[in-house]
Amino acid sequence: MKVQAWRDIFLTNKATELSGRYITLDHIEPLIKRYGAMAEIKVIGSSVQRRPIYALQCGKGPVKILMWSQMHGNESTTTKAVFDLLNTFNSTHGSQFLKKLQITIIPMLNPDGAKRYTRHNANDVDLNRDAKSLSQPESRALRTIFDKLQPDYCFNLHGQRTIYSAGSQPKSAILSFLAPAENDEREITETRKKAMSVIVAMNKSLQQLIPDHIALYSDTYNPNCVGDAFQSLKSITILFEAGHIPGDYSRERVREYMFIAMVTAIQRIASRPGSQAKCDEYFSLPQNEERYFDIIIRNTASDDDLAIQYQEQLFEDEITFNPEIVQIGNLDNSYGHREIDARGKAVKGLKNELLKVGYANDCVRLNNELFSLKLIIS
């Protein structure tokens, strides 16, 4: 199916009950129960704070896919896309896949972190660094279902910060992918080649929509990372990272592209399971580079550029984006999702103080006039 058709299907099947960045178990639990006729719904474990961890198993095909989202509680874009995908499976267009595939989805692995809007779980452990020790109940739940299913493919679904570019050019990394390494030498094994094949297929489709905004995540090997661990166990594993489009701080536009990435991957696996790509097609993608800030103020009276990042905080069940100066100096090799030309004016703090790294306020002064840095999300 052509990529434009999948865009139309996304709009038809979008889970409109989910929006924004703050997605918790309370939001998704009512939706999970709707899929009882299509999927086998299981509680595969519980979190530190005794919240249930759900898995939905769809389809009876011979090729098995296991995917999990919100391993990091503040990375919710892929969770929204997962429910868009489930709605699609429940439609004529998506049900075709369930004849060839068995797809098991864990929509929220870290419900405690999701509630607190933190990367870590309630014990302050990064679950994506717990693959070897399996010290946390959430990690053990994922590993148990992995061992039971022995999946042919794994989709490790994440979200990344706004700092990444696709290579050195001023192109934000809207989506990033990785075929994780299996060892320190980062050998191109048969399993990695098969993961690369799926990424190449996704890239070909997505380049039609977001050209030059796809990147590769670093393949430095870490046996404590779940993707690396599962790849080394010969399950074809793919890392998906939902990135940033300027202005899309609610991650609703990226959500659509993530849906298309996932459904393209599933389509590829259903039609050509186990296929391999030429490595040069995969490695022709640019690397993620840390070249972006949320705001850069240039051409100040002091000739220093000011880099500002939004610090995300949970306040009364809403995510606030609070601007903070994180770097001052020459930023010629960096880009801002929003760039402000000070036109040689002095830039100072709210009380006319000199600005320093760590200054956090919704406003600065440009030649003694207030200038807002506040993010408005429509």
Q: What is the dihedral of CA 222, 226, 227, 229, to 10 degrees?
A: 70
Checking 368-371 for CB contacts under 8 A at 24+ apart, the result is: 371/340
CB neighbours of residue 312 within 10 Å? 16
Indicate the DSSP class of residue 179: -
Look at residues 62, 55, 64 and name the one whose alpha carbon lies nearest to residue 235: 64
- Which SS3 state, helix, strand or coil, does residue 170 take? coil
The alpha-helical segments, DSSP class H, found in 155-225 are 190-206
CB neighbours of residue 2 within 10 Å? 9
Domains for the chain: give ranges and CATH numbers: 3-290 (3.40.630.10), 292-372 (2.30.40.10)
Query: Which residues are 41's β-sheet partners?
Result: 56
Contacts of 223 (CB under 8 A, 6+ apart): 131, 132, 229, 232
b/e sequence 174-188, b meaning 16+ C-beta within 10 Å: bbbbbbbbbeeeeee
Q: CA-CA distance, 218 to 233, in Å (whole number)?
A: 20
Query: Which residues are 321's β-sheet partners?
Result: 312
* pTM greater than 0.85: yes
* Mean pLDDT by groups of 10 residues along the chain of 378 residues: 88 96 98 94 98 97 97 98 96 87 98 98 98 98 98 98 97 98 95 96 96 97 98 98 97 98 96 76 96 98 97 95 97 97 95 95 93 83
Indicate the DSSP class of residue 234: T
The whole-number pLDDT of residue 117 equals 98
CA 193 to chain centre: 22
* Residues shown for the chain: 378
The alpha-helical segments, DSSP class H, found in the chain are 3-13, 25-32, 77-89, 92-95, 111-116, 137-149, 190-206, 226-232, 252-271, 279-283
Contact between 254 and 203 (Cβ < 8 Å):
no
The whole-number pLDDT of residue 278 equals 74
- β-strands 292-298, 335-341: how paired? parallel
The whole-number pLDDT of residue 277 equals 66
